[in-house]
Amino acid sequence: MRDNSARRVRWFPTAAIAVLLAVLAGGGALNLDHYPQPGLVADGVPHRSGATAAPPLDLRAQALADLNALTLPSGATLAGWDGPWRYVWPRDASFVAAARCAVGQYAEAARVLDFLDRIKPTTGRWEARYLETGEPVADGREQQLDGSGWVPWATWFCRTGAQHWDMVRESADQITRELQSNGLPTPSPDYWERPESEVTLGTVAPLLTGLRAAIRIANDLGHSAEATRWQAALQTLSTATERRFAPDFPRTPAYAESFLEPGLPPALLGGGADAIVTVLGPPFAPERTVVSQAIANARAALTQPNGGQDPGEEWRADGVSWTPQTAMFALSAAARGDRATAESILAWLNRYRTPSGSLPEKVNRDRQPAGEAPLGWTAALVVLADQALQKPLPIP
């Protein structure tokens, strides 16, 4: 009998990959059936003077107007005006404060940071979200460690470290307390807003940024003991991040490698690209070639048929783009000097604004605005990206 074993070795990996791709394609089609097409929940802030009567402003001006509308006199910055969005996320509020400082609205930013300072935890993690009165939202949602990174970054960005030192100190100390023997923090929900059984890049990336920012604040204020302690934590976390996530920096470290044909690099199993990889580069961290390549790869992997990006490869495959994650790629490109890419993404976001001119949470499969509008996080990111095209943003 003729021995075809060598031929089988050569064609089996290719055949297996073809079958896997077919299964994935079928799974994608099932996902499209499973997840209904999202529509627009709200357009504009009710009762805002001139919200829909006047022609929409240009992209940046409208984003700033929407931030004004979403920020209450107390400094509480709502993620959106309606229902499940009408809360204050430390993450979103930090970006709003930074966006305001980027354009010179220091008094408005101070109100946002003052609100966060009033609700800061005395120990432990920040809550996932808060009522506009400052109380945690009692819905069973877990606390989220990434707030301990975002808040010091926004405070450093706005140069209010002296006024908000206690908030910075507690946040940075919480990061150091969370680091395990492997150098990484304990698992925590992140911007995906779901329980996590292992640490994600959505937590690690903002913690690295927060520690760098906190060290800068401590050094500026002469708090040498804290600066030394946080520098050691930063080194520990940085080393562990490189060991477990580099060079692709997926959402979670790959759990296995699949060897294909001889001469081809192994395929990593698990993890998948995540838009939060942008936080490993400017304006959140110094630029590195390996990170810039990971950002480019992630954007390619996450681009939907409608032209925007979704949060990650492990996100539901429904063809819907999320504007915060799309805007993160715009900010990243602008901060790295890639003007063409940044302007292209901002033009895409501008194209899918709602009739009132606001930026929505999503763009659905029919290329229509969907979700809540305006969305504070997206508006803040657009302001930051636009400003980065005009003047380099500071990098901790």
Domain boundaries, the chain: 56-390
**CB contact at 8 A, 257 and 267:** yes
pLDDT at 18: 47
pLDDT at 374: 97
CB half-sphere exposure, 192, CA atoms < 13 A: 22
What's the pLDDT tens digit per position in 234-248? 999 999 999 999 999
pLDDT at 367: 97
What's the pLDDT tens digit per position in 20-29? 444 444 544 5
Residue appearing with tokens 């929940």: 41
**Fold that domain 56-390 belongs to in CATH:** Glycosyltransferase (1.50.10)
- Mode of pairing for the β-strands spanning 321-322 and 267-269: unpaired
What's the pLDDT tens digit per position in 248-271? 999 998 776 666 667 666 666 668
What confidence tier does 64 reach under pLDDT thresholds 50, 70, 90?
very high
What confidence tier does 12 reach under pLDDT thresholds 50, 70, 90?
very low
CB half-sphere exposure, 98, CA atoms < 13 A: 34
